Amino acid sequence: MSSKQSIKVENLVKHFGSGDNLVRVIEGADFQVDKGELVALIAPSGAGKTTLLMMIGCVEEPTSGRIWLGDDKVYDNKWLTRETRKIRREKIGFIFQAHYLIPFLNVIENVTLVPQTNGVSKKDSEAKAKELLEYFDIGNKARAMPSELSGGQNQRVAIARALANSPEIILADEPTAALDLARSVDVVKMLKKIAIEQDVAVIMVTHDEAMLPLCDRILKIENKKVVSSDVPKDIHIL
């Protein structure tokens, strides 16, 4: 395996249902994402972007194929470990369209929950959380409850939470959907900075073409296959 390889997928297949109700979503995906890369995943609605992300994230079980995360082969026509939750907790940072914050924890408690579960001290996890919250201009909301924040503020907290455990891989499903253009650009630039400085692989699902120039390349689902391409030179941030 290449020392730069962070995600590798071989002949990955995903079907739902069976018989007359069989739905073929992904038919033989093959691609690699290296450490330090920010890769956009694009496709029409319903083409399987989120499903592909969830298979890589050890949430959705593939129908067949192989998945490597870092040095570890985690799936080879079956999960090779029962500890998929541990893999998610230690290796992967997830960012979703919905924020999924725990409503009875305040902002800083939400952000520090996973690092502390992984054994990071309260002092260190809170220092990292405060740094992230300041970056997203919500440092003054550290003790607020999710119900006291706007939708955009809650999404920024969710992004900070995904970055708090210093993951090897970040899987982002429309991470800028609740943000304006300026803040969206800031978020994607931060993801790129983290990819480079921390040697993290980032896959970001997006419908926003304005974000593509900030990415290293594009993965696109076409005819149930995944193809890689360079970012078109005629796309610019507005």
For 182, other C-beta atoms within 10 Å of its C-beta total: 8
Residue type at position 51 = T
Tokens of 124: 């260190």
Q: What is the pLDDT of residue 2?
A: 55
pLDDT digits (tens, 9 = 90+) for 10-64: 999 999 988 889 999 999 899 999 999 999 999 888 889 999 999 999 999 999 9
pLDDT tens, residue by residue, 114-159: 899 888 999 999 999 999 999 888 999 999 999 999 887 888 898 8
Residue range 67-76: average pLDDT? 93
Q: Are 5 and 36 in contact (CB under 8 A)?
A: no
Are 210 and 181 within 8 A, CB to CB? Answer: yes
pTM for this predicted structure: 0.86
Q: What is the pLDDT of residue 235?
A: 65
Say what the pLDDT of residue 213 is.
92
Q: What are 96-113's pLDDT values in tens digits? A: 877 889 999 999 999 999
What domains, with CATH codes, occur in the chain? 35-61+83-229 (3.40.50.300)
Q: Where are the beta strands (DSSP E) in 56-116?
A: 64-69, 72-76, 92-95
Report how far residue 160's alpha carbon sits from residue 235's, in angstroms, rounded to the nearest whole number: 28
CA angle 174, 53, 173 (to 5 degrees): 10
How confident is the model at residue 50, as a pLDDT? 92
What is the structure's pLDDT at 150?
A: 87
Q: What is the pLDDT of residues 185-213, one digit of tens each?
A: 888 888 898 899 888 999 999 988 889 99
